[in-house]
Structure 1
């Protein structure tokens, strides 16, 4: 009987499809957070590129913010990281960041290394997420958890842009977290502020 059970368990393990590393979007305390619809890739219903790709609106907002920040940041003092740069915030833990602003001297040693950056940025700006949120009791749990992890690790400010609801979330340690509209002047650092609605309209677009 025991031999039969062992064989069944062994066959069951073999039948499970192992999730490829490429489908891991982020990692928190050794627990993987997969790309949204990763299971459809495993079933052959979607390609890997389909779940990793960004929407047109995500691309537009990202471009507008990069252009805006590069025009106002002192690039001798600060480094602007983009393109889902990987930030290792704790052992066996890392997050992808759409936009991150670092003190240049602190991050400089890691910019030529082929590995995740272990230094906390000053500011992080996120646009939606590609994470699969089904493992969370509530989708907001992911955003709260990621935000708090970033702040606890030394990030001074986290800004979330939610394109579906047209809302922006501003979070800082020991301050009330704010939820505002796209037409709000968002303070980034120092005197640098952006108004997303105006940036989009200046590009001849409307959302």
Structure 2
């Protein structure tokens, strides 16, 4: 996969001093991955609430994806979680998704708690990259996180990238990137088309 906007760059140094744990987005290989924009919070330019909030475009896309998913999935068979549901892979890896579809025979009622899920979702969906990737490339982050989720047992990962207006569809067998005006299958022949939906709504993201 090639992402045109992902060019090599010199890693940006982390701010000096202690960084609050509230700015940690994920843990990967025992190292904190901070939330995008955390440098502005540390420098006092923004608040945590400002960088945690999603854009209207991201929110509209997540809302549309949820509507599509709920239109065909049986909620007696699957749990459909949103709001950055976390997965605890092991003590060195704790990751987040925007939408996670869990089979209820895997995420059983007994496993529902105030903690991260310790079992894999069947499908994970992401809208944009919410992590600060100044110390790696965006493509590197995508591939590394995708591989960890696959190793954990996730069967399919779908990334909607609004800047490039593409969708990355990843399975353990292949990774494919298509323009977001193409139909993308979630599962069992059920598809979404971000470009067509935005056009229908009169939305022209710049």
Q: Structure 2 length normalisation: TM-score?
A: 0.87
Contact kept? 1:99, 1:124, Cα under 8 Å = yes
Residue 188 of structure 1: aligned partner:
186
Alpha-carbon offset, residue 110 of structure 1: 5.6
Give RMSD over aligned pairs. Answer: 1.5
Measured in 2, the distance between the counterparts of 1:89 and 1:194 equals 29
Residue 203 of structure 2: aligned partner:
205
Residue 106 of structure 2: aligned partner:
106
Change (3 A) 1:204 1:177: same
Measured in 2, the distance between the counterparts of 1:134 and 1:203 equals 34
Measured in 2, the distance between the counterparts of 1:97 and 1:145 equals 14
- Count the aligned residue pairs: 190
In proportion to residue count, which structure has more helix?
A: 1
Measured in 2, the distance between the counterparts of 1:62 and 1:77 equals 21
| Structure of higher CA gyration radius | 1
Measured in 1, the distance between the counterparts of 2:110 and 2:128 equals 27
Residue 6 of structure 1: aligned partner:
none
Q: In structure 2, list runs of 5 or more residues that go unmatched.
A: 1-15
Residue 164 of structure 1: aligned partner:
163
Deviations 1:19-44 (A, max 9, x none): 11100000012100001121221121
Q: Structure 1 length normalisation: TM-score?
A: 0.86
Partner SS for 1:115: coil
* Structure with greater contact order relative to length (CA < 8 Å, sep ≥ 6): 2
